[in-house]
Amino acid sequence: MREGTFQWMKSVNRSIILNKIRTDAPISRAQIAKETKLTPPTVSSNVKSLIEEGVVVESELGESQGGRKPTMLLINDEAFYVIGTDAGPTKIECVIADLAGNIHTRNSIALTVPITNDEFLIKLTKCIRELIAAATIDTDKLIGIGVAMHGVVDVETGTSLIAPNLGLTNIPIKAVMEEEFRLPVKVENDARVMALGEAWFGNHEVMDNMLAVNVGRGVGAGIVVGGKLFHGANNIAGEIGHMTIDIHGEVCECGNRGCLQTFATGAAIAKRANLRMQHNNAITAEKVYELALSGDHDCREILEETGSIIGVGLMNLIHIINPAKIVIGGGVMKSGKFILPAIQKAIEKHALTPEAKQTEVEITKLGDDATIIGAVALVLVTIFEPTA
């Protein structure tokens, strides 16, 4: 990466202009000035620098408003690239994507437990190094690394405080990766990263309040409030998997009883299916879905029960956060044909007001890439959105 490019792009006025072009392109200089309240000379001088740097390009002429047709501006998506990483619990996945979130190169490496902090960091480094080595793009254009990590993350230090599925604590991801690759590194909880990816690349209308929920081996949520990710006082906002659904329920891995996670994960679905159908642990969550598709009544009912329980959890969040939209992803939602209608029915039945009952709930359109694309957005947000 060209020395200083990252910091140069992060200036407040440039971020305002870049984000305006990103969200409203093609757009003219005059439109930018009018809609951002920046002066025309400020817009012109910054756009000139952005064009010289190759981040912005001029496009065809726009519609005349009575005078000369204005030149329109676009983001040059391939001006720079970002590494996005989804770490754990069974593998590390890495991609290189451009400024529009288009993936150009992929790599992955398996994880097995037990594993130490050092072994995890060695594998993470190896996965990224192999990714860069296989890249067909100009790697000098890499501007940062975004890392999605399950569990509790200190976003200021980039430390994974608790990674329960790996049995690890206090992993200094940011410090080690910045030392290894000499690139800025951002580390965030995977569900919050998914929420960011949805907000940036999910083709949703611009909204200040939304919720993204990841249901797979665990259950987590990313909460967007006022257009920003909400972390809470101690970085545990969104740990909805440990919302109590049944105080007399099964003991969760966290030590409490009846957490949402004990009902909604793939392992929980498989456990209920094996107990109900007496298959002695032979049925996986994937098999439950296959059997439900083939008409098996018990499997269909198990998935619908799962949806109802998730719906109760989401209803609680609707009453607290009142999001405009809820987007759900993760491996369990591959059974969305049966789970999603049950979620929607539960919300409609139990939500407090008519408006709350109509809260839009949908399955992510980003598929299995929802989290890793969010990791890319984790870096992009520091460039395109002003911080001062």
CA separation for the pair 212, 221 (Å, rounded):
5
Question: Where along the chain do the CATH 1.10.10.10 domains lie?
Answer: 5-75
Where do you find CATH 3.30.420.40 in the chain? 81-196+371-384, 204-364
**pLDDT score of 388 more than 60:** no
Mean pLDDT value across residues 357-374? 92
Instruction: Tell me: pLDDT of 51 over 50.
Output: yes
Output the six-digit token pair for 192: 């919050």
143-185 confidence digits (pLDDT tens): 999 999 988 899 999 999 999 889 999 999 999 999 999 999 9
pLDDT average, residue stretch 41-64: 86
Mean pLDDT check: name the lowest of 119-128, 185-194, 222-231, 239-248.
222-231
Identify the pLDDT of residue 116: 97
User: Domain 204-364 belongs to what architecture?
Assistant: 2-Layer Sandwich (3.30)
Q: Which CATH class is domain 5-75?
A: mainly alpha
Per-residue pLDDT tens for 179-214? 999 999 999 999 999 998 888 888 776 667 899 999
CATH topology of domain 81-196+371-384: Nucleotidyltransferase; domain 5 (3.30.420)
